[in-house]
Amino acid sequence: MAIMEILKYPEPVLLCKAGMVHQIDGALQKRIDDMIETLYAVPGLGLAAPQVGDSIRLFIYDMSLHEKEVKARKGPLVVINPEIVAMEGEDLSEEGCLSIPGYQEIVKRAYRVQLQGIDREGKEIRVIGEGLLARLFQHEIDHINGVLMIDRFSSLKKDIFFRKLKKKAKQDGSF
Ligand SMILES: [Zn+2]
């Protein structure tokens, strides 16, 4: 297993719509293991394949990572070709993204969503998420559609974000 680099905005692969997974083979299983190791190294709650440079429709998550007791953790879940089949309600909460480090902002999301996809064994998954889990599903599916949380901002918030980004890039000498 290997820890991969998490790509940062504005890396082009983050802005592309990812392709469907057609085959769950050994190479894909290895990539999934590497993604899990990378997520746990951060540690983060969720990671989508484009964030490590793979333009495929896949994400992993583990909502139990905040548990201090390792045995209370449920282990990572892998969702391949995910789709939100139903959503309801509204939720305004702060959100962050591993590809936009150090930046948190209120993003409007559905409060409850039904997610469908397949797991790494090819079995069908159906999960209903509420609150933070529903937010994570929407955030990760946005990633595989090439959409970032900043695309969900109002134009005013977007302006502020780009101004901050420019300032930071100037300080880092990378602009
Ligand atoms: Zn993200």
Indicate which CATH number applies to the domain containing 125. 3.90.45.10
| Protein residues placing their CB within 5 Å of the ion ligand 1 | 97
Q: How far apart are CA 170 and CA 159, in angstroms?
A: 17
Interval between CA 44 and ligand 1 midpoint (Å): 10
Share of the chain above pLDDT 70, in %: 94
Res 75: pLDDT: 73
Query: 38, 59 in Cβ contact below 8 A?
Result: no
Res 169: pLDDT: 82
Interval between CA 148 and ligand 1 midpoint (Å): 7
Transcribe 125-164 into DSSP letters. EEEEEETHHHHHHHHHHHHHTT--GGGGS-HHHHHHHHHH
Residue 138 has pLDDT above 60, yes or no: yes
Query: 34, 2 in Cβ contact below 8 A?
Result: yes
Task: Report if residue 150 sits inside a domain.
Answer: yes
Interval between CA 140 and ligand 1 midpoint (Å): 6
Task: Report if residue 121 sits inside a domain.
Answer: yes
Residues in the chain: 175
Q: How far apart are CA 73 and CA 70, in angstroms?
A: 5
Q: Is the pTM of this model over 0.85?
A: yes
Interval between CA 139 and ligand 1 midpoint (Å): 6
- Split into its structural domains, the chain has a count of 1
Q: How far apart are CA 173 and CA 62, in angstroms?
A: 35
Task: Report if residue 5 sits inside a domain.
Answer: no
Task: Report if residue 33 sits inside a domain.
Answer: yes
Task: Report if residue 2 sits inside a domain.
Answer: no
Task: Report if residue 143 sits inside a domain.
Answer: yes
pLDDT digits (tens, 9 = 90+) for 78-100: 999 999 999 999 999 999 999 99
Interval between CA 172 and ligand 1 midpoint (Å): 22
6-to-11, 18, 43, 167 alpha-carbon distances in Å: 10, 16, 12, 22
Q: Which domain holds residue 82?
A: 12-172
Task: Report if residue 57 sits inside a domain.
Answer: yes
Q: Tell me which residues are annotated as active site.
A: 140
